[in-house]
Amino acid sequence: MPPPFRVVRAAGALGAELLDIDLAGALDDATIAAIRAAWLGHGVIFFRDQALPPERFLAFARRFGEPIEYPFVRGLEGFPQITPVVKLEHERVNFGGVWHSDTAYLERPPMATMLIAREVPPQGGDTLFASAAAAYEALSEGLKATLAPLRAVNSSRKADASKTREDFQKKYGAATNAEVLEAEHPVVRTHPETGRPALYVNLGHTTRFAGWTEEESRPLLEFLFAHITRPEFTCRFHWQPGSIALWDNRAVQHYPVNDYHGHRRVMHRITLAGDVPN
């Protein structure tokens, strides 16, 4: 049976828009299953023109998993699992403004991230997404064999990422007293639902390979960071008010483009609980 919506692919490697569906309406289990299948198949899916206030946005997210709090920035008043992602007119640094997988420094990084646009600039403010699964598949067999036994150390202290959230901690406060969070994960993780392998290192959080120094790790990590974000593994999404993106944090990385200085951009983010990467 075909899904109760249209699917339009965004690019060759990943991404699809789901059209002709109202997420504010009553969605039966079959429709949720079809949305999940599209998400698993395309890595990131997009919706347009969705009227979901915080309580409805949270209710929709709960159909796919357990919403969790972001450790370093407090959520909305009354909705601690919804993180505000805001850049104001006078600000120059955007939140999460590097290529990354969300909170890879946690022992159990989130399975998925859902983002809805509340206010967008007149131009700019797009988000790029990259398929870490397609990137892995394009590697040589020799490099795959080299990476197979490796594990990587991921830290919340890495400057590439921490500098983009300092202002947010001052503005909203933090949900944890921890100064730094670190976790070690396999460099190649196997997706628990699709079985597809993907690279699981990212510029925002990965500092080194376990058992290696940072200096020894740097050349190979820099190659992998650049490889994952090659244009043929990416897609680009242009936001409008009411747009939603849902991406698979286990196999997809993202990068919010910071090209709208002098304008306001307001988003709400929910992350869904994941498992220990294997």
Domain boundaries, the chain: 6-272
Q: By three-state DSSP, how is residue 160 classified?
A: helix
Q: What is the pLDDT of residue 173?
A: 54
| Alpha carbons 11 and 201: distance in angstroms, whole number | 23
Q: Which of 185, 208, 254, 268 is catalytic?
A: 254
- Residue 98 gets the label, from left (phi > 0), alpha (psi -120 to 50) or beta, of beta
Q: What is the pLDDT of residue 165?
A: 44
Task: Note whether 13 and 232 are within 8 A (CB).
Answer: yes
Q: What is the pLDDT of residue 109?
A: 97
Task: Note whether 276 and 83 are within 8 A (CB).
Answer: no
Of 205, 201, 215, 195, the closest CA to residue 143 belongs to 201
Q: What is the pLDDT of residue 95?
A: 87
Q: Which of 102, 118, 165, 268 is catalytic?
A: 102
Domain spanning 6-272: CATH superfamily: Clavaminate synthase-like (3.60.130.10)
Classify the C-alpha dihedral 66-72-77-82 as positive or negative. negative
| Alpha carbons 67 and 44: distance in angstroms, whole number | 18
**185 is annotated as an active-site residue:** no
Q: Which of 189, 196, 265, 269 is catalytic?
A: 269
Q: Are strands 16-19 and 44-47 parallel, antiparallel or unpaired?
A: parallel
Q: Which amino acid is at 8?
A: V
Query: Which tokens in the block code for residue 73?
Result: 């920035």
Angle at CA of residue 160, ends 157 and 166, nearest 5°:
65
pLDDT, one tens digit per residue, over 76-131 is 999 999 999 999 999 999 988 999 999 999 999 999 999 999 999 999 999 999 99
Residues of the chain short of pLDDT 50, as ranges, are 162, 165-170, 172, 175, 177
Of 207, 97, 225, the closest CA to residue 163 belongs to 97
| Alpha carbons 6 and 17: distance in angstroms, whole number | 8
**261 is annotated as an active-site residue:** no
**254 is annotated as an active-site residue:** yes
**100 is annotated as an active-site residue:** yes
| Alpha carbons 129 and 9: distance in angstroms, whole number | 13
| Alpha carbons 8 and 162: distance in angstroms, whole number | 35
Residue 220 buriedness (CB in 10 A; 0-12 / 13-18 / 19+): middle
Query: Which tokens in the block code for residue 180?
Result: 């730094």
Q: Which of 74, 100, 118, 205 is catalytic?
A: 100
Q: Biggest alpha carbon distance in the chain?
A: 54
Q: By three-state DSSP, how is residue 8 classified?
A: strand
In this structure, the chain runs to a length of: 278
Of 108, 256, 245, 127, the closest CA to residue 189 belongs to 108
| Alpha carbons 67 and 82: distance in angstroms, whole number | 8
